[in-house]
Chain A
Amino acid sequence: MTTMTIQDHQQAGPLAELNPASLPQSPAWLQPMREQALARFNKLGLPTTRDEDWRFTNVAPIRDALLELSPNGQAVTLSQRDADTCAVPGVTGSRLVFVNGRFNASLSSIKPLPQGVRVLSLAEAIETEQALLKTHLGKLADFEDQPFTALNAALADDGVVVCVPRGKQVDEPIYLLNITTADKPLLINPRNLIVVEESAAVTVIEDYVSLNGEGVYLNNAVTEVVVGDNAHATHYMLDRESTEAFNISSLYSRQGRDSRFESHTALLGGSIVRNNVTSVLDGEGAWSQLNGLYVIRGDQTADNHMRVVHAKPHGDSRQFYKGIMNDRAKGVFRGRIVVDPDAQKTDAKQSNQNLLLSPDAGVNTDPQLEIFADDVKCTHGATIGQLNEEQVFYLRSRGVPYDTARAMIIYAFASETIDRMGCEPIRRLLKGQLLDRLPAGEVLKKIL
C-alpha cells in the first residue's frame, strides 16, 4: 500500500489531486465508477520509486510536466494526409483515428464487418451500448492499487469499443491510430474495451504516434480484452511516441476455456514508457502469449510489467520479451507468473533477453513465480548481455565489415520477436525502423 507524503502533492496540474469537477459528464450508471476511481487516485497519488511496482522507474518527470486535461469537443485540425503519414503503411481493415484522444470520424473509415460486429467510439458507446459497458467496462482493469488505471477510469471519455459476437470472425485488423499533435502538455486517457464472444476472433492494433515526432504529453491508456470460450483475440501495442512524451499503457485480458490470446508489443518511442500487461487465464486449456520488444536509446526508459495469472487447469502461457538498449537508455522487465491452487497442469514459460549496446545503458530484469499448485511446469529465464563478439568475428572472418556484422546480429536478435507477429505490415515497419537505427542498416536492407 502506498503512503503519500506531503511532497508528492506539491506539484500543480491534474496529477497532483483530481478535482471532482474535472470528471467528464457521465450517465448515472457510469458515475459511481468515476467517483470511486477519483477517490482512489487521490488516495494513492502518483507512485514513487518507494513503491515496489515502480522501483526502477521514476515518474517524477511526468508529474512535473504540468499536464493539462485534453479539452472536450475542441476540434483539432489534422489533414487526411497527416493521418495517413502517421499510419503503419499497408494495414488494411477498419481504421479509427484519434487526435489528442478524441475520435475523429472524418479521418476514420470503418469497413463492412460481419453481421453483429460493433466497432464504435467509447463516447458513442456510452450512449448506445449501455448493457455491454455495464457488463464489462472496468471489470478487468482493477484500480485498487494502480494509480494510472484509476486516473484513466476517472477521466477516460473516449477510445474504442469492439464487440465481436459469438462465432463471428473479423478477418482484417481493427486499427486504432492514436495521433498526438500536442502543442500543449496534454493528459490523454484512451480507454478501449474489446469483447470477443465464444468462438469469435479479432485483431486490434493500438498504435501511438506523435505528429512530426515531437511533443510532451502523457497517453495513459487502458484496454480491456474479454476473450470468450474458444475465442481468439490478438492485440498489438505500438509505441512510436515522441521521445519527449510519456506513455503508460495497461492491457488487461481475461480468457475463457480453450481460448487464445496474443499480445504483441513494440516500444520504440517515448521518454518514459510503461507497458503493463495482465493476462488472466480463467478457463481450462487457455493459451496466452505475451510477445514484446523494446528498442530504446538516448535517455529513454521502457518499463515492462507482466502479470500472468493461471486460474484454471491446463493453461499454457508464454512470455517472450526482448530489449535492446543503447546510449543511456534503461529497460525494465518484471514478469510475474501466478499459478492458483486450482490451476494444475499449467505450462508457463517466461523469457526476457536483453542486449546492451553501450556501457551506460542498463536493464533491470526480475522474473517472479508464485506457484500454489503442485503439478505444473513453469520456467523462466533472463539474460543480459553485450553483443556476442564470437558471432561478430565469425561474420567478419567471412568478409562482413564490423558495423554490418554488428547490425546483422542485432537485427537477428530482434527479428525473433518481430517474426512472431502475424501482421505483415507491422513486421515490415518494425524491421525497417530497426534497420534505420543501425549504423549499417542501409547495407542490410539490400540482403534481408
Chain B
Amino acid sequence: MLEIKNLHARIEDNEILKGLDLTINPGEVHSIMGPNGSGKSTLAQVLAGREDYEVTEGSITYNGKDLLDLSPDERAGEGVFMAFQYPVEIPGVTNTQFLHAAINAQRKYRGQDEIDAIEFLKLAKQKRQMMKIDDSLLSRSVNEGFSGGEKKRHEIYQMAMLEPKLAILDETDSGLDIDALRIVADGVNSLRGSDRSFVVITHYQRLLSYVVPDFIHVLYKGKIVRSGGKELALELEEKGYAWIEEQIEAAAV
C-alpha cells in the first residue's frame, strides 16, 4: 500500500530525512519511534503534503500512485489521513461545517454523491459516541478553546468520520492523561482492519501497550536504523534511546 524509498527531505537548508525506506502493507500497524529531532514528524508532514518540506530525493508510492505528485487535499481524497501533533484552531468554522465540508470534498474527489446534513449528523452522532465526545462540540469552532486531550480526541474522531486507508498518528499520545490515552487507543483499535494501515509515530512506549503494532521502527538522524516486532518497544523503554545512539555511533566509527 505504501512504499517509501530512499526518502530525503529538508526544510529550508536543513536536511532532516536522509534516505528513509519503509514498506507498509494493508492492515498493518507500524510504529515509528525515535529521539527528538530524528525526523519522525517530518515524515508525517511529508506524507500529508506539507509544502514547507522539500523532497530532494527518493519516492513515495501509495496504492500505485506517486504520492508526491498529489496535493494535500488529493491525498486526503485518496485515503491518507494525518492526526496532527498540534491540531490547528480555526475560529469561526464549526466542527460540523468543517467535517461536512471535508467528507463531501473527499466523496466528490472519489466520484461519490455528497451526503446531506441529516445523513451527516447521523454519522457524526454515532462516531461521537464512540470517541466519548460531547454533543456541544458540534457547534463549537474547530479546536478553539479545546484542551490538549480534547484536540487529540477530536483528531481521532475525524479519523473515524473520514475512514482513511492510511492513517498517520503524529505523536497523538503526547501530553495525554491515561483516560484520554485509553479513549484514543480504543478509537484507533476500533478502526483497525484488513484494509486500513497505520503509522503510529510516538516518542514513548506507553501508547504501544494499548495500540499494539505489528512492526516497530527506530528512526535516528533521518534513517530507520532498527526494525523489529513489538518487543523492540520494551527494549527501548528499558534501555532508552541512548542505547540505539551508542550502537549506531559505534558502528560508524
Chain B residue contacts of A391, Cβ below 8 A: 88-90
B 45-58 to A, binary, CB cutoff 8 A, 1 in contact else 0:
00011110000000
**Is B2's beta carbon under 8 Å from chain A?**
no
B 65-90 to A, binary, CB cutoff 8 A, 1 in contact else 0:
00000011101110001101001111
With A397-B49, A397-B72, A404-B105: A416-B82 Cβ-Cβ less than 8 Å = no
**Is A52's beta carbon under 8 Å from chain B?**
no
Cα(A85)–Cα(B84), bound, Å: 48
- Which residues of chain A in 396-448 are interfacial with respect to chain B, using CB atoms and an 8 Å cutoff? 396-402, 404-405, 408-409, 411-413, 415-416, 443-444, 446-448
Q: Are B71 and A402 in contact (CB under 8 A)?
A: yes
**Is B162's beta carbon under 8 Å from chain A?**
yes
Q: Are B72 and A393 in contact (CB under 8 A)?
A: yes
Cα(A396)–Cα(B141), bound, Å: 17
Q: Are A448 and B72 in contact (CB under 8 A)?
A: no
Cα(A404)–Cα(B104), bound, Å: 12
**Is B152's beta carbon under 8 Å from chain A?**
no
Question: A396-B73, A398-B98, A412-B91 given. 18 additional CB < 8 A pairs?
Answer: A393-B72, A394-B142, A395-B102, A396-B49, A396-B71, A396-B72, A397-B76, A397-B84, A398-B106, A398-B158, A399-B77, A399-B109, A402-B73, A408-B97, A408-B98, A412-B141, A416-B91, A416-B92
- CB B12 to nearest CB in A, in angstroms, measures 15
Q: Are A400 and B92 in contact (CB under 8 A)?
A: no
Q: Are A409 and B71 in contact (CB under 8 A)?
A: no
Chain B residue contacts of A183, Cβ below 8 A: none
- CB B151 to nearest CB in A, in angstroms, measures 11
Chain A residue contacts of B72, Cβ below 8 A: 393, 396-397
Interface of A, secondary structure class, is helix
- CB A80 to nearest CB in B, in angstroms, measures 37
- Which residues of chain B in 87-126 are interfacial with respect to chain A, using CB atoms and an 8 Å cutoff? 87-93, 97-106, 109, 114
Cα(A416)–Cα(B75), bound, Å: 31
Chain B residue contacts of A127, Cβ below 8 A: none
Chain B residue at minimum C-beta to C-beta distance from A390? B88
Q: Are A401 and B90 in contact (CB under 8 A)?
A: no
Chain A residue contacts of B97, Cβ below 8 A: 408, 447-448
Cα(A412)–Cα(B97), bound, Å: 11
Cα(A443)–Cα(B51), bound, Å: 25
Chain A residue contacts of B98, Cβ below 8 A: 395, 398, 408
Question: Which one of B51, B84, B91 lies within 8 Å of A394 (CB-CB)?
Answer: B84
- CB A322 to nearest CB in B, in angstroms, measures 11
Cα(A444)–Cα(B92), bound, Å: 14
Chain A residue at minimum C-beta to C-beta distance from B72? A396
Cα(A443)–Cα(B105), bound, Å: 9
Cα(A422)–Cα(B94), bound, Å: 20
- CB B113 to nearest CB in A, in angstroms, measures 13
With A395-B98, A395-B102, A402-B73: A413-B88 Cβ-Cβ less than 8 Å = no
Cα(A393)–Cα(B82), bound, Å: 11
Q: Are B92 and A398 in contact (CB under 8 A)?
A: no
- CB A423 to nearest CB in B, in angstroms, measures 19
- CB A420 to nearest CB in B, in angstroms, measures 12
- Top 9 closest pairs, chain A to chain B, by CB: A412-B92, A399-B76, A398-B102, A399-B106, A394-B88, A396-B72, A399-B105, A396-B73, A412-B93
Q: Name 18 interchain pairs, CB-CB below 8 A, sorted by A.
A: A393-B72, A393-B88, A396-B71, A396-B76, A397-B73, A397-B81, A397-B84, A398-B99, A398-B102, A398-B105, A399-B73, A402-B73, A411-B93, A412-B92, A412-B93, A416-B91, A446-B104, A448-B97
Cα(A399)–Cα(B48), bound, Å: 11
Cα(A395)–Cα(B158), bound, Å: 12
Chain A residue contacts of B99, Cβ below 8 A: 398
- CB A152 to nearest CB in B, in angstroms, measures 37
- CB B220 to nearest CB in A, in angstroms, measures 27
With A393-B50, A447-B97, A448-B97: A399-B102 Cβ-Cβ less than 8 Å = yes
Most chain B Cβ neighbours within 10 Å, of A394, A405, A413, A416: A394
Cα(A61)–Cα(B214), bound, Å: 72
Cα(A448)–Cα(B76), bound, Å: 21
Q: Are A447 and B100 in contact (CB under 8 A)?
A: yes
- CB B190 to nearest CB in A, in angstroms, measures 20
- CB B222 to nearest CB in A, in angstroms, measures 23
Cα(A391)–Cα(B91), bound, Å: 10
- CB A133 to nearest CB in B, in angstroms, measures 44
- CB A416 to nearest CB in B, in angstroms, measures 5
- Which residues of chain A in 376-402 are interfacial with respect to chain B, using CB atoms and an 8 Å cutoff? 390-391, 393-402
Chain A residue contacts of B142, Cβ below 8 A: 394
B 30-70 to A, binary, CB cutoff 8 A, 1 in contact else 0:
00000000000000000011110000000000000000000
